[in-house]
Chain A
């Protein structure tokens, strides 16, 4: 982070109140730095390549093609955003400490909480940006596939009877319905909530650890444990002590609704709302915990 990026108010540290502007400046700078990182570009490129390759599911029937394309794209978006959330957030604080820019920033009238929140918001902007890029390509892939299928279908019905044309028109409408599936948005919202949560876990870890490897591995393990929490609750739900220990881990399995949406199920917005509420509540508390650790940390 550049020193000039943070405006230095003239008042003393004790009198400095919370400033959303300072948080936004730190967030924008964090985003600018993050998008320049090779690891982000690499992950994003991998995600985009995978999504673009999904268009080549051509050897199957219409229903299968759409299912496979959507499964692949949503799966890739979920994994890449999770990876970006972990790797992108893991190096935010260590890099500031290593480059010693943190001293310059905190010497200014910038609260530690603002600094931390700014970093976290920057990380969220990064997630939004990467997700938007992947979603745009996903939409393009669906559109290309849709056009190809309609063209193929129209050609196969050339010279057929009017009744056959009615049938063709029905199939075209079905393809268009499959492509313009607004339910997909719900899956993306849940994915974003999950990525935000894992980013907050990473932020918390990075407030007490200086090792980048540790900052990446621990959140990943938390993620795996979180994915297995549903299974554990089903199998060992009666063991209260065990479940009490597990309660500290977020249940990441609750965010997995992409499969259901892809299978044609209608997931109520109420359910999405509950998932997002759960994710936001967990995220807020973890950010507060990160603040508690970071505010006492000796830098």
Chain B
């Protein structure tokens, strides 16, 4: 009888292997799950959290580390916070929030913390350290985009990082190449129908700062031509920008969206 029980248990185990494998493949295709418990991960999160991870509480462990990282931020313990951010995205690589806020902490908070560190011997060292964190944030979002390539959020985040931070990281700021890169990422974000209304507006601004005023003008015009009754936009801002660029680019009156009144 014992043998029969063992045969039954193994038999169903084998019989269900194709279903198990199909489910695993489906999970892989749909990018379910995060990192597995490895020695390195166990070292990083500690024994207690590793046990929680084994019990299937990946979300709670990631949240706990995030909250702990928040505490480190308040205490200005940047490196500890950075480690927690990295582990949180390792556990939940599909969380847009962790990638988005993680890069913000790196580029804005930790970057500034490194810049204003009294241990910096020279201003050059302070700038160098701040730029290193900006670069870390850039690399970080790139990994985020690899994990979540089909949403607008991280493209926008990257565009914003280039627009706000990396555009100042050159010898003679503002660096127009950074704005061009920003425009590339914002163009990607704009192509998603669920992108909020400020995303295409920022895209147009990035194009202008990149030096491509014509493209910026075209983007403002594209926005203006959207159906005003069904699309929510800041129409007054768009009108103002179109008028400004039409004057600046000296667009002929008959080609203008807002022709000047003939005297």
For A289, the chain B residues whose CB sits under 8 A away are: 5, 8-9
> Which residues of chain A have C-beta atoms less than 8 A from B20's C-beta?
233, 251, 254, 278
Instruction: Say which residue of B5, B37, B57 sits within 8 Å of A292 (CB atoms).
Output: B5
- Which residues of A are found within 8 Å of B21, using beta-carbon distances? 233
Known: A68-B63, A247-B17, A278-B20. A257 touches B32 (CB 8 A): yes
Name the interface residues of B1-28: CB closer than 8 Å to any CB of A.
1-2, 4-5, 8-10, 12-14, 16-17, 19-24, 26-27
B232 within 8 A of A: yes
A256, B56: Cβ atoms closer than 8 Å = yes
Given A224-B54, A228-B54, A247-B13, also A72-B60 (CB < 8 A)? yes
- Contact in complex: A231, B16 (CB < 8 Å): no
CA distance A34 to B32 in the complex (A): 36
Complex CA–CA separation, A5 to B30 (angstroms): 50
Using A265-B30, A282-B16 as known contacts, say yes or no to A78 and B5 having CB atoms under 8 A apart.
no
Chain A residues within an 8 Å CB radius of B54: 224, 227-228
Are the CB atoms of A227 and B56 closer together than 8 Å? yes
Map CB proximity to B onto A243-283 as digits: 1 under 8 Å, 0 otherwise: 01001110111111111101111010001001101100110
A279 to chain B, nearest CB (A): 10
Is A293 touching B5 in the complex (CB atoms < 8 A)? yes
CB closest residue in chain B, given A271: B26
Contact B14 A78 (CB under 8 A): no
- A166 at interface by CB-CB < 8 Å: yes
CB of B5 within 8 A of CB of A67, answer: no
- Minimum C-beta distance from B35 to chain A (A): 10
B92 at the interface (CB under 8 A from A): yes
> In the complex, A223→B57 CA distance in Å?
13
Q: Which chain B residue shows the least CB distance to A207?
A: B5
**Per-position binary interface string of chain B over residues 67-97, scored 1 when its CB falls under 8 Å from any chain A CB and 0 otherwise:** 1001000000000000000000000101111
Nearest CB to that of A290 among chain B residues? B5
| Residue in A closest to B57 when the chains form the complex, CB atoms | A75
Cross-chain contact A259 with B34 (CB below 8 angstroms): yes
B113 interface hit (Cβ, 8 Å)? no
Interface pair B19/A277, CB less than 8 Å apart: yes
Residues in chain A near residue B214, CB distance under 8 A: none
Contact B13 A230 (CB under 8 A): no
Asked if B58 is at the interface of the complex by the 8 Å CB criterion, the answer is yes
Say yes or no for B59: interface residue by CB 8 A criterion: yes
Chain A minimum-CB-distance residue to B27: A254
Which residue of B has the minimal Cβ distance to A78?
B56
A278 CB, nearest partner CB in chain B, Å = 5
Q: How far is the CA of A208 from the CA of B197 in the complex (A)?
A: 65
Note all chain A residues with C-beta closer than 8 A to B23: 251, 254, 271, 274-275, 278
A286 at the interface (CB under 8 A from B): yes
> A247 and B63 in contact (CB under 8 A), knowing A64-B97, A231-B36, A233-B24?
no
Q: Are B16 and A281 in contact (CB under 8 A)?
A: yes
With A244-B14, A285-B12 as known contacts, state yes or no: A278 contacts B59, CB within 8 Å: no
**B95 surroundings in chain A (CB, below 8 A):** 67, 263
| Given A228-B54, A257-B32: 18 more A-B contacts, CB < 8 Å | A64-B101, A67-B95, A71-B59, A71-B60, A71-B63, A79-B57, A82-B55, A230-B24, A254-B23, A259-B33, A259-B92, A260-B94, A262-B59, A265-B94, A271-B23, A278-B23, A292-B1, A292-B5
- Return the 10 tightest CB-CB contacts between A and B, nearest first: A247-B13, A71-B59, A285-B12, A75-B60, A231-B36, A259-B59, A75-B57, A248-B13, A263-B94, A289-B5
Question: Interface residues, chain A, CB within 8 Å of chain B?
Answer: 59-60, 63-64, 67-68, 71-72, 74-75, 78-79, 82, 166, 223-224, 227-228, 230-231, 233-234, 244, 247-249, 251-260, 262-265, 267, 271, 274-275, 277-278, 281-282, 285-286, 288-289, 292-293, 296
Instruction: Using CB atoms and an 8 Å cutoff, list the residues of chain B in contact with chain A.
Output: 1-2, 4-5, 8-10, 12-14, 16-17, 19-24, 26-27, 30, 32-34, 36-37, 54-60, 62-63, 66-67, 70, 92, 94-97, 101, 232
15 residue pairs of the A-B complex, CB under 8 angstroms, read A67-B95, A74-B59, A227-B56, A228-B37, A248-B13, A256-B33, A256-B58, A259-B32, A259-B92, A267-B32, A271-B26, A274-B19, A278-B20, A292-B4, A292-B5
